[in-house]
Structure 1
Amino acid sequence: MATPAIAKPRSGYDRHKNTRSGVELLAWLFMRLSGIVLVVLIFGHLFVNLWAGEGVKAIDFGFVAGKWASPFWQIWDLLMLWLAMLHGTNGMRTIISDYAERDSTRMWLKLCLYVASAVIIVLGTLVIFTFDPCPAGADPSVVPSFCEAL
C-alpha cells in the first residue's frame, strides 16, 4: 500500500496560491469600510435624536415628520438603512457559507436572505421618500395636530 507524499516540514508554504476570489476580497473590504461609516451614521443619529434634543420622550410622529422634511436627514437615514442591511446581509452570507454543509441548503438559505434583505431595503426606501405626515384629503381626526396649521 502506497502512502501519500507528505511535504518536508521546512519546505515552506506558498502563500500566493489563488485560493481567494475577488468577490470575497471585496466583501471583506466592504465590511470594514461600511462598519466605519455605520459607526459615524449611528452615533450621529443617536446624538441628534437622543442627546441634542429632549431625549427619548421627544421622539414621536411629529419629530420624525419634521426630521424627514429635510432631504439631508432622508439621505442620512437612507444611507444608514442601506449600509446596515447590506452589512448584515454580507455577515449572514458569510455565516451561511461557513456553516451550511450541503450546497442546496446553502443556496436556499442565501436566497431567503437576499429576498428578505431586498424587501426590507425597498420598503424602507419607500417609507423614507414617500412619507407624508399630512396627506391631502385625510380625515382631520386622524392627522396630527400640526397638519391643521398648513
Structure 2
Amino acid sequence: MSVPVTTQDLAPQASTGGNFEKFAWIFMRLSGAALLVLVIVHVYVNLVAGDGVHKVDFAFVAGKWASTFWQVWDFAILWLAVLHGTNGVRVIIADYSSRSVVRFWLTMLICSAAVLMLIAGTLTIFTFDPCPTGRTSGHLPSFCPAP
C-alpha cells in the first residue's frame, strides 16, 4: 500500500534557525571582495612599491605599524581573513560530517582556533613596540632613538 504524495510534502520546509545562514552567505561575498582589495594593496605596498621582499624586515614592519592607518589596515585583513576562512570551514564541516556530535565538536574546534588567532593577532598588531630596547640601531626604524 503506497501513501499518496501531495504538493505540500514536496514544498521546502521553513527554517527555524533564523537568518544566520543567509547572513553568513552575504558575509562571505562581502568579506571576499573586501579582502581582495585589502590584500592587493597590502602586497603592492610591501613588495612592489618598496624594495621587494628582501627589504621586509623588523624595521620595515615597525615603520609601517608606527602608523595607526596601517595597523587598522592589517587588523581588517586579519579579522576578515580569519572570519572568512572559519565560516568557509564551518560550511565544509556542515556539508561533510554526517554525525551531529562530530559536526558540533569540529565546529567548536575551528571556532576556538579562530578565537585564539584573533586574540593573538590583535594583540600583536596593537601592542607591537616599534622601538624595543636591546636592539642594535641597524635593525631599528630610523625614527627610533639611538640605543
* TM-score class, shorter: 0.7 to 0.9
SS of the residue corresponding to residue 14 of structure 2 reads coil
Aligned partner of 2:139 in structure 1 is 144
How does the TM-score come out when normalised to structure 1? 0.85
Instruction: Give 1 or 2: higher helix fraction.
Output: 2
SS of the residue corresponding to residue 66 of structure 2 reads coil
- Determine the C-alpha separation between the residues in 2 that align with 1:140 and 1:72: 25
RMSD of equivalent CA atoms: 2.3
Deviation at 1:148, TM superposition (A): 5.0
Question: Matches of residues 1-150 of structure 1 in structure 2 within 5 Å?
Answer: 2-7=1-6, 14=11, 17-19=13-15, 21-135=18-132, 138-140=133-135, 144-146=139-141, 147=144, 149=146
User: What are structure 1's unaligned runs of at least 5 residues?
Assistant: none
Deviation at 1:140, TM superposition (A): 4.6
Deviation at 1:142, TM superposition (A): 9.5
- Determine the C-alpha separation between the residues in 2 that align with 1:149 and 1:93: 49
Q: Cα deviations across residues 16-54 of structure 1 (Å, max 9, x unaligned)?
A: x52474100000000000001000000010110111111
- Determine the C-alpha separation between the residues in 2 that align with 1:22 and 1:89: 18
Larger Rg: 1
- Determine the C-alpha separation between the residues in 1 that align with 2:93 and 2:37: 28
Q: Are 1:133 and 1:143, in contact at CA under 8 Å, matched by a contact in 2?
A: no
Q: Are 2:131 and 2:140, in contact at CA under 8 Å, matched by a contact in 1?
A: no
How does the TM-score come out when normalised to structure 2? 0.87
User: What are structure 2's unaligned runs of at least 5 residues?
Assistant: none
- Identity of counterpart residues, as a percentage? 48
